[in-house]
Amino acid sequence: MGTLTRKQREIQQRESLLLDVARTMLMEQGFAGLSMDRLAEATEYSKGTIYQHFSTKEDLVAALAIQSLTYRSDLFDRASEYPGRPRERMFAIGVADELFARLHPQYYKAEMVIRMAALQTRADAERCKHLCGQDQTCMNRVRDIVASAVAAGDLALERPRTAEQVSFAVYSIALGTHLGMHNYGSMFDAAELGPPESLARDGVQILLDGFGWRPLTTEWDYCKTYHRLIKDVFADEYRRLETL
């Protein structure tokens, strides 16, 4: 890819600013409180300029989701390449998801709002296609690890169980945990649940033990795997956490 021109850099910087302000607005005021008029007022750009970047409010929100999922996809890619057994790589996916939630809580909260908005009919078709592709990439990483565990003999699936069902269950546990903690966390005893940042990862571990995916938590020191991941895969992200 060639070097961007000054004009192209300015356009990118402007779009980045618009997305940052829109995300904050979405977080603080919800989907109903986000509008092109308010975004124009907050950034001091004209509505015409904003419409050069985003055709509708839904298109703007779709762009926010893409930005979020692009970052998460990078974390998942690195996790899936961890040189360990399939269940260790699935554990690494859980650590990646935890890092994403801790480093970018605004992304996760905004994404929950985004998912409740009907984007497909009013957002740019290419942007919606890109959004679906990013989402599918994350799911594919999970499914590929499940399939590799079956191929290695670490996970035995009897009919009618499939790798896709296990993948969906893993994804559902993680997503449901984040939703539950954001919306209903006060209903649960934090002392009984343990550290909130590891709840999704711990929930998936319980699920995988139930499936009999080896090595079980009683057979493997996943704490050591966790520390290897911190050192070898996500060192930069953990250094950033220490500064927050």
What does the pLDDT look like over 25-34, one tens digit per residue?
A: 988 888 889 9
Residue 1 has pLDDT above 70, yes or no: no
**Average pLDDT of the chain, as a whole number:** 90
User: Is there a contact between 135 and 69 (Cβ–Cβ < 8 Å)?
Assistant: yes
Q: How many helices (H) and strands (E) does the chain have?
A: 12, 0
The pLDDT tens digits for 116-166 are: 777 778 888 898 889 888 889 999 999 999 999 999 999 999 889 999 999
For domain 6-53, the CATH superfamily is: Homeodomain-like (1.10.10.60)
pLDDT at position 113 = 74
Helix (H, G, I), strand (E, B) or coil at 239: helix
DSSP assignment of 142-167 equals HHHHHHHHHHHTSS---TT--HHHHH
What would the mean pLDDT of 1-15 be, rounded to a whole number? Answer: 86
Residue 223 has pLDDT above 60, yes or no: yes
Where are the domain boundaries for CATH 1.10.10.60 in the chain?
6-53
pLDDT at position 106 = 75
% pLDDT > 70, the chain = 97
Q: Is the CATH number 3.30.1340 carried by domain 65-243?
A: no
Distances (CA, A) of 147 to 169, 221, 230: 14, 23, 25
Helix (H, G, I), strand (E, B) or coil at 129: helix
